[in-house]
């Protein structure tokens, strides 16, 4: 037992030294009994009577028995330690030294407490040597005692918080202490039987362990390969790809205000004060693609540098019917577009950096910030999953700046309130910077098309979101002195002049938008928008009267979350994209014959998996181009959406 004790290196503490000495002397006593049978009654008789003043019975014949026992067990005990342990009382004649009793080192067993000379004292376990008031750091056995108390937990003190280190101990107390310490050892270390069991289990599951090792090695190799070939340690790549199949049909010709060249991006001339008109028949069905690649880089874990690339080749068939300036407006899903200056050409769509200024304040700066990331959102009209046409996904009167250079500031003072403000100068990726009123931020950050936006979001509950938006926009006249087209909101589209074909100065426009979404139940929701815009018309011709073009737009819809499948979303949206309230005489295109266009749109987002979805959509456009004589145009689109 002492050899095992030594092998575990626990004999460094003084308490264990005492235990080892006791065991060695008992071995010598047993050998003496075997070799001298006639002395057995005497030794047993003395052992039966507890000795309260000596740790070992004086009947052990001579000092050489102790040293021979220690030698037989390969024990190593320094002489100073033994001498120091014997300071409490004189040693009996038969021994050169005396070791303290068990109580002197704070060990006891309730079963043998009656043999102690202080049998009325009860011992209490301590967890720190500092709990023993009479033990000082300068005591010679302090480190040994500290190890026994705090490392092995097999030392007890008296109820009064003392240790009484100079008090003698009985053999029973020492036996109890040894047992307590060995229990601690057995709890901390495996036995021979435990090792044999482990070895047997290793043999039994040798094949499984080998397979597992192979898998771990394989994973480590793959991880090393990925680490060596990873794109970046700070940047994540994500992507969206859409395949669109679209068709539009009316059954007969549709009238539109265009030049005779049919160029949809050029305003029609006035002939006799009336814009020229053309008619178009049903276009062909198209199949196209559109894709975004987004690189999101973070340097601190809280900031984000976003670089987004776009490429596509789409042009919705509905564009064959629209008036000038209304390209990619009614009847067109947002994902069914080219999105660049020319088809199949990669362009930079977004570039901005966002970071938290404080816990509640976020700042965004960039050369090409996407306005719709931060303004006029709605849970049921997100183009990825909800009502997804240009006219349904957001207000038709907002914003003249789709992507712009500038800054956005977002403040969340409470969980229910969000405030956002931005200044953005137009820098949209699909507009030709060679034209006077396109990509004006590259020419003049404050003098070209720009917008100042503020929005308040209020969410009284998780089910209800209210948003109130205001935008002040500077609209720059193009080379022909006209305002409108792709940067015309809140006109919203088309072109305007001075009413008789003359040019205009740059215009100031104001837009007000309120939108809401309400999840009434888990499977039913409501949404809606109301927008109002007014644009000041200032002719360049001296003395010619100007005015304002006033317009409103209305949207109302129902939504069906988790329809048929969890994560799916069905929507039905009713939209009046532009209802002119005043100033129609300024419209070079978009006035029609005075009627009001309205639309009904239905879409269903069906997720096949986390990365693939199919979205069929159907649109009915009544009074297209604001001509009451035009037939209803029907548009069908089915898109497959990939996310990675």
In whole angstroms, give the CA distance from residue 580 to residue 257. Answer: 17
Q: Does position 354 have pLDDT exceeding 80, yes or no? A: yes
Mean pLDDT, residues 176-194 taken together: 73
Give the strand pairing for 569-582 and 483-484. unpaired
Whether the per-residue pLDDT at 188 is higher than 90: the answer is no
Tokens representing residue 268 in the block: 């029609």
How far from 72 is each of 29, 31, 52, CA to CA, in Å? 13, 12, 28
Asked whether residue 65 carries a pLDDT value surpassing 70, the answer given is no
- Which of 84-88, 207-211, 595-599 is least confident? 84-88
- pLDDT tens for residues 546-590? 999 999 999 999 999 999 999 999 999 999 999 999 999 999 999
What is the C-alpha to C-alpha distance for residues 566 and 570, in angstroms, rounded to an integer? 12
Backbone angles phi, psi at 311, to 5 degrees: -155, 145
Please report, for residues 22, 158, 263, 389, 498, the alpha-carbon distance to residue 259 in angstroms, rounded to integers and kept in the order given: 115, 107, 6, 26, 18
Q: Please state, for a pLDDT cut of 70, what percent of the chain lies above it.
A: 80
- Whether pLDDT at 628 is above 80: yes
Q: What is the pTM of this model?
A: 0.68
| Contact present, 507 and 484 (Cβ < 8 Å) | no
For residue range 145-161, what is the model confidence (pLDDT) as tens digits?
888 887 777 777 778 88
Least Cα distance to 590 among 216, 234, 264 occurs for 264
- Please give the sequence-ordered ranges of beta strands (E in DSSP) within 225-383, or none if there are none: 235-249, 254-257, 270-271, 274-275, 277-280, 286-297, 304-312, 347-356, 361-370
108, 116, 486, 573 from 391: Cα distances, Å: 87, 96, 14, 10
Extract the tokens encoding 643.
Answer: 């996310």
First to last CA, the chain: 65
pLDDT higher for 587 or 142?
587
Tokens (6 digits) for 309: 């690339």
Residue 57: band (very low, low, confident or very high) from pLDDT cuts 50, 70, 90:
very low
Whether residue 258 has pLDDT greater than 60 = yes
Alpha-carbon torsion angle 465, 468, 473, 478, nearest 10: 50
Question: Can you give the pLDDT at residue 594?
Answer: 95
> Of 264, 269, 254, 178, whose CA–CA distance to 482 is shortest?
269
Cβ neighbours for 61, distance < 8 A, ≥ 6 positions apart:
32, 94
Distance CA 504, CA 605 (A): 44
Taking 90 as the threshold, does the pLDDT of residue 69 lie above it? no
DSSP label of 450: E
| pLDDT tens digits for range 596-616 | 999 999 999 999 999 999 999
Nearest 10 degrees: CA dihedral of 250, 494, 403, 457? -80
Strand, helix or coil at 202? helix
pLDDT > 90? residue 396:
yes
Closest CA to 470 of 372, 376, 549: 376
What pLDDT does 386 receive? Answer: 97
Query: How far apart are alpha carbons 152 and 460 in whole angstroms?
Result: 58
Q: Over the stretch 280-310, which tens digit does the pLDDT of each residue have? A: 999 999 999 999 999 999 999 999 999 999 9
- Residue 228 CB partners (closer than 8 Å, separation 6+): none
Sheet holding 495-496, edge to edge: 483-484, 495-496, 587-589
The pLDDT of residue 222 is above 80: yes
* Separation between Cα atoms, residue 597 and residue 329, nearest integer Å: 12
Q: By CB neighbour count within 10 A (0-12 exposed, 13-18 middle, 19+ buried), where does 251 fall?
A: exposed
DSSP SS3 for 526: strand
Range with lowest mean pLDDT among 182-196, 462-476, 518-532:
182-196
**What was the pLDDT predicted at 123?**
56
Query: Which residues are 212's β-sheet partners?
Result: none
Higher pLDDT, 228 or 598: 598
- From CA 41, how far away is CA 169, in angstroms rounded? 25
- Percent of the chain residues topping a pLDDT of 90: 62
- Report the candidate in 359, 316, 364, 406 with the shortest Cα–Cα distance to residue 636: 316
Residues 13-42, mean pLDDT to the nearest whole number: 43
Answer whether 298's CB lies under 8 Å from 322's CB.
no
Q: Is residue 503 within 8 Å of 539, Cβ to Cβ? A: yes
Q: Identify the pLDDT of residue 71.
A: 39
Distance CA 132, CA 174 (A): 20
Domain 235-643: which CATH class? mainly beta
The per-residue pLDDT of the chain, averaged, comes to 83
- Say whether 571 sits in a helix, a strand or coil: strand
Say if residues 51 and 89 touch (Cβ distance below 8 Å). Answer: no
Region at 226 (left for phi over 0; alpha for psi -120 to 50; beta for the rest): alpha
Among 340, 318, 315, which Cα is nearest to 433's? 340
């Amino acid at each position: 037992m002492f050899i095992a004790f030594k092998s575990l290196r626990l004999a460094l503490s003084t308490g264990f030294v005492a235990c080892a000495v006791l065991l060695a002397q008992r071995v010598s006593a047993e050998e003496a009994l075997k070799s001298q049978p006639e002395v057995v009654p005497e030794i047993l008789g003395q052992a039966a009577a507890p000795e309260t003043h000596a740790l070992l019975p004086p009947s052990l014949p001579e000092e050489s028995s102790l040293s021979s026992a220690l030698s037989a067990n390969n024990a190593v005990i320094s002489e100073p330690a033994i001498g120091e342990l014997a300071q409490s009382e004189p040693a009996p004649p038969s021994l050169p030294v005396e070791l303290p009793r068990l109580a002197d080192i704070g060990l006891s067993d309730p079963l043998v407490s009656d043999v102690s000379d202080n049998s009325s004292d009860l011992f209490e376990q301590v967890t720190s040597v500092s709990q023993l008031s009479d033990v000082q750091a300068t005591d010679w056995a302090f480190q040994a005692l500290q190890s026994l108390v705090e490392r092995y937990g097999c030392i007890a003190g008296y109820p009064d918080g003392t240790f009484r280190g100079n008090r003698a101990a009985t053999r029973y107390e020492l036996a109890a202490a040894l047992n307590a310490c060995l229990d601690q050892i057995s709890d901390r270390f495996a036995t021979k039987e435990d090792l044999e069991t482990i070895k047997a289990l290793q043999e039994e599951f040798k094949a499984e362990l080998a397979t597992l090792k192979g898998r771990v090695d394989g994973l480590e190799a793959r991880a090393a390969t990925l680490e060596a070939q990873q794109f970046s340690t700070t940047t994540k790549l994500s992507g969206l790809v859409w395949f669109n199949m679209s068709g539009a049909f009316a059954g007969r010709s549709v009238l539109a205000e265009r030049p005779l060249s049919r160029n949809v991006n050029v305003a029609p001339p006035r002939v006799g004060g009336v814009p020229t008109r053309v008619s178009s028949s049903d276009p062909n069905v198209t199949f196209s693609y559109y894709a975004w690649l987004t690189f999101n880089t973070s340097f601190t874990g809280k900031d984000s540098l976003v670089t987004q690339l776009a490429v596509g080749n789409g042009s919705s068939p509905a564009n064959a019917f629209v008036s000038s300036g209304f390209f990619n407006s009614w009847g067109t899903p947002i994902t069914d577009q080219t999105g660049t200056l020319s088809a199949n050409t990669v362009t930079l769509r977004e570039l901005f950096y966002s970071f938290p200024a404080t816990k509640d304040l976020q700042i965004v700066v960039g050369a090409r910030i996407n306005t719709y990331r931060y303004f006029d959102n709605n849970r049921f009209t997100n183009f990825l999953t909800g009502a997804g046409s240009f006219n349904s996904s957001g207000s038709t009167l907002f914003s003249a700046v789709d992507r712009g250079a500038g800054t956005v500031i977002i403040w969340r003072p409470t969980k229910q309130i969000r405030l956002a403000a931005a200044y953005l100068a137009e820098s949209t990726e699909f507009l030709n910077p060679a034209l006077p009123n396109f990509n004006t931020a590259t020419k003049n950050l404050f003098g070209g098309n720009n917008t100042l936006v503020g929005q308040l979001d209020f969410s009284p509950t998780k089910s209800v979101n209210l948003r109130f938006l205001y935008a002040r926009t500077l609209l720059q006249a193009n080379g022909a002195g006209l305002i409108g087209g792709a940067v015309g909101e809140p006109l919203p589209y088309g072109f305007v002049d001075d009413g008789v074909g003359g040019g205009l100065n740059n215009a100031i426009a104001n837009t007000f938008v309120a939108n809401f979404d309400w999840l009434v139940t888990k499977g039913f929701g409501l949404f809606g928008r109301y927008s109002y815009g007014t644009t000041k018309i200032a002719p360049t011709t001296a003395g010619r009267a100007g005015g304002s073009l006033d317009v409103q737009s209305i949207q109302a819809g129902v939504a069906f979350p988790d329809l048929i499948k969890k994560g799916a979303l069905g929507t039905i949206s009713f939209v009046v994209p532009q209802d002119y309230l005043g100033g129609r005489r300024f419209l070079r295109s978009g006035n029609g014959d005075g009627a009001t266009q309205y639309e009904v749109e239905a879409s269903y987002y069906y997720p096949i998996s986390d990365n693939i979805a199919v979205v069929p959509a159907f649109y009915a456009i009544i009074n297209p181009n604001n001509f009451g004589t035009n037939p209803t145009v029907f548009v069908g689109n089915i898109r497959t959406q990939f996310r990675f």
